[in-house]
Structure 1
Amino acid sequence: MGLVLAALLLGVALAWFLGRKPPTVRLTREVPGQGFEGTRVPYRVRIEIDTRRPLRVIVEDPTPLSVVSSEVLTAGGLTLGQTVTELDGSLLLNRRGEYAWPGGTLRWADPLGLFWRSMPLKVPATIEVYPGTHGLVLPDLLRPLLSEGQLSRTLGLEDPISLRGARPYVSGDPPGRVHWRLSARTGDLTVRELDRTAASSLTVFVDTSGTDVFVNSAVRLASSLIQEALALDLPVSVATPAGATPSGRTPEALRAALRLLARLEPQDPRVVGTPLVIPPPRAGGNLIVLTQKAPPDLVEQAMKARASASRVAIVAIPEGFYLEPGENPRRQWVGAPDTVRDLERRAGILAEVGVLVFVLRGNQSVLRLGA
């Protein structure tokens, strides 16, 4: 009995000694550094294990939160000598954001699996998940334009403050074009004819003082807007109360805009005593303001921005969401906030100074912006 116990203790000691030192493990990944929300990106993980003693080895490489792998990133088993394992699959990018992929974990033990040890494998990486996009029909908000600041009779964006003349109303003319004072004086319905002012850039401002639902919707709409603008070869920029990205049409400018949108979180600057400010847009450019409640100070900032922008459009999303193309309508049980209703009442006055107003309710399609 004593010999059996001694042999058992010797075996346990030998197992502990054999598993004392970790094997040599090299973990490498091939994965894109960025992708769009809701899409899959390919990846490859290569795990090389080298051990001179028989060991049980497990290598795990879990993905960050909101990044789901199509395969379980685990390899290993009873190992002696050199082994190479390659795992191919795809990553589902569930939610926008910037995610750190710190590295894997090495676990090893003696051949009997009595004494397990572990250590981290430092293979840091970062995945940027940009917000997804959806289709848009925006002939009045985005179009290929001429050079900045010049007036044209046929091309560019209509400038409400540059009245060129008046003409009789024709069926199909938008109601906002009616010149009510002149119509009352002449007795005939008359519409204004406007010059067109050219613009060559787009800035999308996101009011971060809304809810989390609104910020997510606004980020998705902003991403769609800048993608449309780049398709028209317009320089793009994204702005928040904290600042703006550099305007440009290069991949770096697009990446900076998408990175800001990926990281954006709800934050009301007025809570910390900072005034709500719209960074000055590029001269002659097109500014689109996305907001949930349209507070008076934001409207005032939009009017100030009109001094340098060719056109300013305020898009209010009271419920914090809207219908994307293909979505079914949903019922609305709550009315718009007082600030949004006040904005609708002032829409005509604001249009006179070149600030357009769109209210996009939760049961309305985003495609109405192009109507």
Structure 2
Amino acid sequence: MTPAMRPTRRGVVVLAATPVLFAAGQWAGYPLFLALAGFCGGILLAAVALTARRPRVRVTREVYPERVERGGAAFAKLRVRSTANRRQAGFTAGDRIGSGFHAVAVPALLPHKETERVYDLPTGRRGRHQVGPLTLDRVDPFGLGRAHVTTGDTTTLWVHPRVHPVRALAGGHPRHHHEGVASNDALRGSFDLREVREYTVGDEVRHLHWKATARTGQLMVREYIDPDQPRFTVLLDTRFPDALFEEAVDVAASLVAAAAGAGHRCRLVTSCGLDVATAGGPSAVRLLLDELTVLDPHRDPGQALVPGSLSRSGGGGLAVITAGLPPADLASLTGVRSRYSPLVVVVLGGGAVPVVPGAKVVAATGAVDAVRRWNVVMPR
């Protein structure tokens, strides 16, 4: 699609003067006015032709890394290849980054040659940002018209919340007693295989290990244990003011990254309805941070802190991140207290510190202060 030319102020003046000169020349019979009108019309047509021509280049870009913490280092590599059969004139364009632009100077290119440009990407704002396409404002030599041309593909830069080093918290509720310490490594479900031993009267027939039986010539059975499976839930209050909300998201990101990174089953819940449960591991960390990257504050006055999903489930540790607990929220949190152990309430902003029966309360001014105090009060 050919871009439409928009006249500049000079172009508007020339466009308005052209019919006036032509009319004056016709009325007064002055050939000079007619010549000037023809000249103005000619350069206007030339401006349209020059600005409407799309640069014959192919633009691709790569972003390294695709995901970065807020304030971290990221850069884009822009490749511009000429598709013309003759020398391509150089130009200066802007590469779109979110709602802004980065100026890119592209030198003159020989036929079918390529150049690379590498530049830093801004990562000061959390979010999912589009990088590209390359935009070029083409202006004719007379300054009469301007056309906005876009070319090249786009990619996405994920700016994650900032993750601070924090001690992982988890809790579990074993359903059966067993001897020894349950290992939290490589858990495979509600039961973990402890050993294979000889069959004794009363053992479950469905637990027979047929391969071991064939190898030993004796009936062998699997003995299972029900381990403490670490579980951790973060409840993030989304009713923060904008500036403090970023601190709250950083705290939530630090907690879920520590727990999921340690292999614990981890769940992220918000007061606005988000509810994401994971099995732990690197892929879970990425999923949870992606969800927090695109999370916005919701300050509905009628919104409750504790969603119904937390009242119908339970198990493991629960961390609540909020700016305060009015009586209604305190009552709802007390109502789910028996379902989670331990329960930790992180209060940000330096306001009044609530008293939550049976819970540890961490009061802090921001994310850095919160994780520092968390690491002090949480057991190793």
Fold match by TM threshold 0.5: yes
Q: Give the Cα separation in 1 of the matches to 2:181 and 2:349.
A: 33
Q: Give the Cα separation in 2 of the matches to 1:6 and 1:267.
A: 61
SS in 1 for 2:288: helix
**CA shift digits 1:228-252 (9 cap, x unpaired):** 2134221222110113112221444
SS in 1 for 2:318: strand
Partner residue of 2:345 out of 314, 335, 338: 314
1:305 and 2:308 are equivalent in the alignment? no
Alignment of 1:148-163 (within 5 A): 148=174
Alignment of 1:262-273 (within 5 A): 262-269=293-300, 271=301, 273=302
Q: Give the Cα separation in 1 of the matches to 2:140 and 2:370.
A: 62
Q: Give the Cα separation in 2 of the matches to 1:33 and 1:127.
A: 5
Is contact 2:70–2:126 with CA below 8 Å preserved after alignment? yes
Letter in 1 for 2:92: I
Partner of 2:207: none
**Which ranges in structure 1 are unaligned for 5 or more consecutive residues?**
157-196, 320-335
The count of residues paired between Structure 1 and Structure 2 equals 292
SS in 1 for 2:278: coil
**Which ranges in structure 2 are unaligned for 5 or more consecutive residues?**
1-31, 183-226
Partner of 1:277: 306
Partner of 2:365: 362
Letter in 2 for 1:295: P
Q: Give the Cα separation in 2 of the matches to 1:18 and 1:243.
A: 52
1:247 and 2:247 are equivalent in the alignment? no
**CA shift digits 1:58-112 (9 cap, x unpaired):** 332132258x9xxx54133566744422012332411212223352213445678
Letter in 2 for 1:58: T
Alignment of 1:89-238 (within 5 A): 89-108=119-138, 116-121=146-151, 123-136=153-166, 138=167, 142=169, 148=174, 198-238=228-268
1:63 and 2:90 are equivalent in the alignment? no
Shift in Å at residue 315 of structure 1? 1.8
Task: Return closer, same or farther for 1:124/1:261 CA change in 2, 3 Å cut-off.
Answer: same
Q: Give the Cα separation in 1 of the matches to 2:40 and 2:297.
A: 61
Task: Return closer, same or farther for 1:215/1:21 CA change in 2, 3 Å cut-off.
Answer: closer
Q: Give the Cα separation in 2 of the matches to 1:228 and 1:57.
A: 47
**TM-score by structure 2 length?**
0.63
Q: Give the Cα separation in 2 of the matches to 1:151 and 1:294.
A: 38
Partner of 1:27: 59
SS in 2 for 1:142: coil
Letter in 1 for 2:317: N
Q: Give the Cα separation in 2 of the matches to 1:20 and 1:218.
A: 49
Q: Give the Cα separation in 1 of the matches to 2:79 and 2:155.
A: 15
Letter in 2 for 1:41: A
1:257 and 2:284 are equivalent in the alignment? no
Letter in 2 for 1:39: G
Larger Rg: 2
Letter in 2 for 1:357: K
Letter in 2 for 1:276: L
Shift in Å at residue 149 of structure 1? 5.1
Shift in Å at residue 359 of structure 1? 3.4
Q: Greater strand share, 1 or 2?
A: 1
| Percent of aligned pairs sharing the same letter | 25
Shift in Å at residue 28 of structure 1? 0.8
Is contact 2:71–2:123 with CA below 8 Å preserved after alignment? yes
Partner of 1:188: none
Task: Return closer, same or farther for 1:291/1:39 CA change in 2, 3 Å cut-off.
Answer: same
Q: Greater helix share, 1 or 2?
A: 2
Q: Give the Cα separation in 2 of the matches to 1:312 and 1:9.
A: 78
Letter in 2 for 1:246: A
Partner residue of 1:40 out of 62, 69, 73: 73
Partner residue of 2:323 out of 284, 288, 292: 292
Q: Give the Cα separation in 1 of the matches to 2:229 and 2:260.
A: 14
**CA shift digits 1:15-73 (9 cap, x unpaired):** 7656653232221111143211111123211112334577564332132258x9xxx54
Partner of 2:186: none
